[in-house]
Structure 1
Amino acid sequence: MNGAEPPGAGLIEETAALFQTAKEVFRNDPAATAILSELEARLSGPLRIAVAGMVKAGKSTLLNAIIGEEIAPTDAGECTRIVTWYRFGTTPRVTLIPKLGDPRALPVTREDGRLVFSLGGSEPEDVERLVVDWPAPGLQELTLIDTPGIASLSQDVSGRSTAFLLPENAPSAADAVIYLMRHLHASDVNFLESFKDKAAGGSGTVNALAVLSRADEIGAGRIDSLISAAVIADRYSRDENLKPLALGVVPVAGLLAQSARTMRQAEYRAMGLLAGMERPERERTLLSADRFVRAVEPAGIDPESRASLVNRFGLFGIRLGVALIRGGLDDPTALAHELARRSGLGQLLQTISALFQTRADALKARAAVVGLEALLQNAGHHAATPLATAMERLQSGAHEFRELKLLAQLRTGGVVLGPELATEAERLVGGRGTAPAMRLGLPPDPSGEAINEAARAGLDRWRIIAENPLTDPSSLDACRVVIRSCEGMLAAIPASR
């Protein structure tokens, strides 16, 4: 779990038991039973993360980078106008699920290493979603959902993303959202504001992460572009409009991340030839994309290969790759790994793991409970009252839910604590990551003794705060949640106590 698990049954087991009770209550209602089965399936399945953003934000490109294969179409074809699920499967398969009629399989074809979709005569507006099963290791613990661009010129296309991410009277099909933006725009804030929900005592704040995509463009393709992008991302993360809506902002050069994960031997060879040029001539050649494509030196890179290199890596990626080769990276695998790291992908994957994957049980259970809550509100079933009581007991008693609620309150100014205490409380309840080291502000892989000492110090400090008569009464519940989180970390290391 997350290092602060309450004693007794785990949250997933408790939520599953609640759903068994719900199935008994609604056993004579086929429609409700179907909804309950679908919600219950979320508890045992992988965490679902949707990738959203404005048109041309680089959603499909980043999705390919996370998966490690080019299976999401990145052109402006008809399939980019459809919500597409990418999940793990031992056999490649593409399934079209229409709004009316039965699902049907689509042919699985690849061109130049990329997966190519064909709707087989169906119109995009008649398709509810596509489901791609693919044997990619990156999909074993995550189901990724690509959504059409928000604020598209086509209201119908934009509406598909909004309807999927913000359904009426139902929970979102995604447990968390990665929201891409090229810069902080009012449209981005407006969407994230609407993504916030008040159900299950929580807010979209606890399951939304912003990504400053195409970060290399911020520095005009210079090798230090990601440094400039990191400064801007940090400023955005502290922006008073964005901070209540997302857990953080991560800069990523999506195109470089995708291409580094799928780098080809011929591309490494071309960068090696560029690295061997004299510096003045190389800098002139790489001054612009047009100049590079039209150049005749170095010999051995034909115009088609030059154009492909620009399309896949951009000038930023080419310049960085050449600089790394000149710096001594003479192995294609090592170069690909270093390019991926410097693209910001590594930081993004670590952030996704720290904020979402380590909290997967809580996020999945929260989404399932939101769905059950909506079903109860619409059902009006006389036998549902005890079920509603049990659900309320779970929501208020499960520590994971209480942490999510407090985290949302801390980021939206709903708790009366000073800035320093609010920052510490956010960290202790898992706002920076749920591993004990992240909660306690310790270096990676701390010893049990270090965790014990830091957790006990935090526990003592927050007990004193809770007992202080000057502490605002409205903050006492927050103090209790923080204290319980510290106790959970201590309970997880009994040998060190």
Structure 2
Amino acid sequence: MKVTTVAGVADLIQEALAAYRDDPAAVEALEGWAARLSEPLRIAVAGMVKAGKSTLLNAIIGEEIAPTDTGECTRIVTWYRFAHSPRIMLHPVAGEPRPLPLRRSNGRLVFDLGRDRAEDVERLVVEWPSESLRNVTLIDTPGIASLSGDVSARSVNFLTPADSPSEADAIVYLMRHMHAADLRFLESFKDTEAGRSGTVNALAVLSRADEIGAGRIDSLLSAGEIAERYRRDPGLRKLALGVVPVAGLLAQSARSMRQSDYESLALLSTLDRAERERLLLSADRFLRAGVPDGLTAEARKQLLERFGLFGIRLAVVLIRAGFTDPTPLAHELARRSGLDPLLAMLAGQFHARADALKARTALVGVETLLRNSPRDGTGHLATALERLQINAHEFRELGLLATLRTTGVTLKHELAVEAERIVGGEGVAAHLRLGLEPEASRDEISAEAHRVLHRWRLLAENPLTDRSVLDVCRVVVRSCEGILAEAAGVHLHKQPA
């Protein structure tokens, strides 16, 4: 997003602060939206109970700092932010924040609430020196559709407040299968004040994907086919930008692999194939086995907890195939877990649009304030807000993307598909917008952008083209011009609608 647009949103908030300076609640909200413009993007991880949210969050961060058991802390909204020194702060519902002790057990961070109960805690904030958190704040939320209504309400109220923008700019939603409850929640997230601004800012993850194939070595292939079917489902397509299968447990353990893990897996790889297959028929058989020599009962238990049968099978096969050092093995396991495609989608769909998503949230907040608390002398604020919404091309791209995925437009199917891709439906990088290979040269990008631009200009100039299609053409043409300017190394100035 252009600096001028972000600056325009910041200026609008300052003007609103002056207009509402005698309203403490409005001032607090406006100052919060102003701060969000300069903060990292906020991405919430949500899903039903036991969907694997904390495990996936650990995989994304690359360290085991989110609790994955069923203790009190999994019932609390927990923020993970970058800081040079680790710290855990407890923010109670009533009272002042206080630090929690930093303790690790078996390499995992342990949260000790002391005398506080989960229901008395508004949020936990974990500050951690992880490079993965430099440009994003990850928010772990309690399970939706929990047997405890209070637990579910925490997530729903946090992510889908009734009369204000969500505290999350985007969401990664985990599901083991696609249930009606999943669609209902994603619909409610889209229908928050921020959702009504015309954005599709959710990614769906088919979590625990290795369980779909009963832990077989080809489980992720089966999960990929199911994810593709979900991706094409009309009900989910309008709510999520994509569906990615991920074996979360394997991803987490691969990203935090220990030398002891590798040594145990290397021992297992010395067995012949038939013996390994018999050993890995079930968890009980694996835990009770007496082979190979040197693999203790505790080591077996640790391997099973950290990798699962699928991860153990895959790791042993890779070691026998030549991945005989811990680091290359960990990287290959992470890649095969499905984590890499998810990280690529997060980068292409969310990180690349971070300024637009944050600015959109701030604008919707101001818009909500003007509507719910009108007062004399704020007419110029409404006019300035509307001008920003109309003139910022990034907002128009988000709006068109939402329209194409929901109500649709009267375009031929192949043109609708191309329009969605051009405005960033598969990511905002130039090669993704144009459907080219990642290694496409600048000349190839320019040539393809010119070809696409010519086609959409012809459509716009056709006197028979429907007015709604003309609006699509204008956005697509502007996006193509932006691609060409980027390829030429030219800053394309904002143009009026």
TM-score calculated relative to the size of structure 1 = 0.96
- Pairs within 5 Å for 1:35-74: 35-74=29-68
Q: Which residue of 1 aligns with 2:495?
A: none
Post-superposition shift, 1:491?
1.8
Q: Does residue 1:488 correspond to 2:474, yes or no?
A: no
Distance 1:81 1:349 in 2: 26
Q: Which residue of 2 aligns with 1:174?
A: 168
Amino acid of the structure 2 residue aligned with 1:155: G
Q: Which residue of 2 aligns with 1:371?
A: 365
> What does the per-residue CA deviation read over 1:201-245, in whole Å, with 9 as the maximum and x for residues that have no partner?
856762100000000001111111111111110110000111111
Q: Which residue of 2 aligns with 1:195?
A: 189
Q: Which residue of 1 aligns with 2:471?
A: 477
- Secondary structure of the corresponding residue to residue 235 of structure 2: coil
Amino acid of the structure 1 residue aligned with 2:203: L
Q: Which residue of 1 aligns with 2:87?
A: 93
Distance 1:417 1:104 in 2: 56
Distance 1:430 1:116 in 2: 40
Q: Does residue 1:362 correspond to 2:356, yes or no?
A: yes
Post-superposition shift, 1:452?
1.3
Post-superposition shift, 1:365?
0.4
Q: Residue 309 of structure 2 is aligned with which of 279, 291, 315?
A: 315
Distance 1:189 1:489 in 2: 34
Cα pair 1:46 1:143 within 8 Å, conserved? yes
Percent identical pairs in the alignment equals 65
Q: Which residue of 1 aligns with 2:454?
A: 460
376-385 or 269-278: which moved more?
376-385
Q: Does residue 1:442 correspond to 2:440, yes or no?
A: no
5+ long unaligned stretches in structure 2: 492-497
Amino acid of the structure 2 residue aligned with 1:28: D
Q: Which residue of 2 aligns with 1:165?
A: 159
Could you say if the C-alpha distance between residues 235 and 201 of structure 1 is closer, same or farther in structure 2, counting changes exceeding 3 Å? Answer: closer
Distance 1:469 1:245 in 2: 34
Q: Which residue of 2 aligns with 1:271?
A: 265
- Secondary structure of the corresponding residue to residue 70 of structure 1: coil
Amino acid of the structure 1 residue aligned with 2:383: T
- Pairs within 5 Å for 1:334-353: 334-353=328-347
Post-superposition shift, 1:475?
1.6
Q: Residue 10 of structure 2 is aligned with which of 4, 12, 16?
A: 16
Q: Which residue of 1 aligns with 2:215?
A: 221
Post-superposition shift, 1:328?
0.8
Cα pair 2:161 2:192 within 8 Å, conserved? no
Amino acid of the structure 1 residue aligned with 2:431: A
Amino acid of the structure 2 residue aligned with 1:319: R
- Secondary structure of the corresponding residue to residue 328 of structure 2: helix
Q: Residue 306 of structure 1 is aligned with which of 293, 300, 304?
A: 300
- Secondary structure of the corresponding residue to residue 219 of structure 1: coil
> What does the per-residue CA deviation read over 1:119-161, in whole Å, with 9 as the maximum and x for residues that have no partner?
1211111111110000011000110000000000000000000
Cα pair 1:219 1:225 within 8 Å, conserved? yes
- Secondary structure of the corresponding residue to residue 241 of structure 1: helix
Report which structure shows greater RCO (CA 8 Å, sep ≥6). 1
Distance 1:275 1:435 in 2: 41
Distance 1:103 1:204 in 2: 36
- Pairs within 5 Å for 1:113-132: 113-132=107-126
5+ long unaligned stretches in structure 1: none
Could you say if the C-alpha distance between residues 176 and 200 of structure 1 is closer, same or farther in structure 2, counting changes exceeding 3 Å? Answer: closer
Cα pair 2:200 2:402 within 8 Å, conserved? yes
Post-superposition shift, 1:197?
2.9
CA RMSD of aligned residues (A): 1.5
Distance 2:444 2:352 in 1: 21
Q: Residue 429 of structure 1 is aligned with which of 423, 440, 445?
A: 423
Distance 1:312 1:271 in 2: 12
Cα pair 2:189 2:195 within 8 Å, conserved? no
Could you say if the C-alpha distance between residues 490 and 198 of structure 1 is closer, same or farther in structure 2, counting changes exceeding 3 Å? Answer: farther
Cα pair 2:164 2:368 within 8 Å, conserved? yes
Aligned length: 491
Amino acid of the structure 1 residue aligned with 2:33: L
> What does the per-residue CA deviation read over 1:391-446, in whole Å, with 9 as the maximum and x for residues that have no partner?
11111111010000000000013322121111000000011000111101111142
Q: Which residue of 1 aligns with 2:412?
A: 418
